Structure 1
Amino acid sequence: MQEHIITSYVGVGPLKFGMTRDEVHQLLGKPQSSKKSRFFEESRECWGDNGLQLTFSETGDGLLEIGLCPNLANVQFNGLKLFEVPGADVFKALHDWDDAPLDRTGTSVFFKLGLAVHGFLDDDDSDKAVAAFVKGRWDE
């Protein structure tokens, strides 16, 4: 994938929430690593070279979350290039679109946008991360 365009509660580019692991593997190939959660009925697969992490349900709900890191090219939300604009500017834009994020341990969850972001207020590229998630994932 050359572009990583996030659509709220839908997915990122051709990756759509609810896709099966096999459907994703047809698009991306096999992951570099996979690990089942000890606490939840889900597993995480990583494509480490490009900074992509996908979380799948182990109960048949398919793809639940798409994690994106700064080494991915052209990560966009509403036309805003998330890793190419200063972090504080990105955070301000996201906050303008959803002014009631949930803040937990340095991560801000924007429910109206279907996004969680980390590291944008410090503007440290090595600490930035974005996760797009399926509706209902962070509700509790």
Structure 2
Amino acid sequence: MIKINSYKDVNGLIFGSSEVDAIAVFGEPVSRNTNRESERELHFSDFILRFDAISGGLREITLLPFCEGMINGDIVFWDDRFLQWLALHDKNLIEVLGFVLSLKVGVAISGFHDDDESEKAIHMFRYGDWDIFQKNMRPFNQ
């Protein structure tokens, strides 16, 4: 079970932690990758950890479909209930670059709002990661 506390930690691993610290918490990944933003990625069976290209610190976790998880003590559901849960916790959801974003909770989701099962994922990130996209942000209308 992956337990995330918004803007703080993943299973006790603090955002900003190193890859070495992540492996100490989660074990060896299934694979490692460097993405087009030059960020290191550790791929596990049902989640991905991403590390900042400059600092090397943990900046995001992506939960893949049906990963068992909790966010701030609440169980993650992989159906319409998750978007409803998010709307209960943040009345000011934003749409940007195809994601629904909650700056209050620190989550970006894909595939839930547009019924695109192939893109379904939950991305939890460190504080400030989406600030560079502010000019592209629009209120999300359900």
TM-score by length of 1: 0.80
| CA-atom RMSD in angstroms | 2.2
Q: Is 1:30 aligned to residue 28 of structure 2?
A: yes
Per the alignment, residue 66 of structure 1 pairs with: 61
Provide the residue aligned with 2:136 in structure 1.
Answer: none
Amino acid at match of 2:130: W
- The match for 1:99 among 75, 91, 97 is 91
For 2:110 and 2:31, locate their aligned partners in 1 and report how far apart those are by CA, in whole Å: 22
Q: Tell me if structure 1 keeps the 8 A contact 2:61–2:125.
A: yes
Distance 1:111 1:68 in 2: 18
Is residue 81 of structure 1 aligned with residue 79 of structure 2? no
In the comparison of the two structures, how many residue pairs are matched? 132
The 3-state SS of whatever aligns with 2:130 is coil
Structure 1 unaligned residues grouped into runs of 5+: none
Pair 1:114 & 2:106 matched? yes
Once the 2 structures are TM-superposed, how far is the Cα of residue 65 of structure 1 from its aligned partner? 0.2
Q: Secondary structure at the match of 2:67?
A: coil
Alpha-carbon separation, structure 2, partners of 1:56 and 1:23: 12
Q: Distance in 2 between matches of 1:117 and 1:123?
A: 12
Q: What do the CA deviations read for 1:66-112 (whole angstroms, capped 9, x no partner)?
A: 11123322x1224432226xx22221221121122221354211001
Alignment partner, residue 43 of structure 2: 46
Instruction: Identify if the C-alpha distance between structure 1 residues 9 and 96 changes in structure 2 by more than 3 Å, giving closer, same or farther.
Output: same
Q: What TM-score do the two structures reach when normalised by structure 2?
A: 0.79
Say which SS state the counterpart of residue 66 (structure 2) adopts.
Answer: coil
CA distance in 1, matches of 2:129, 2:89: 20
Distance 1:96 1:69 in 2: 22
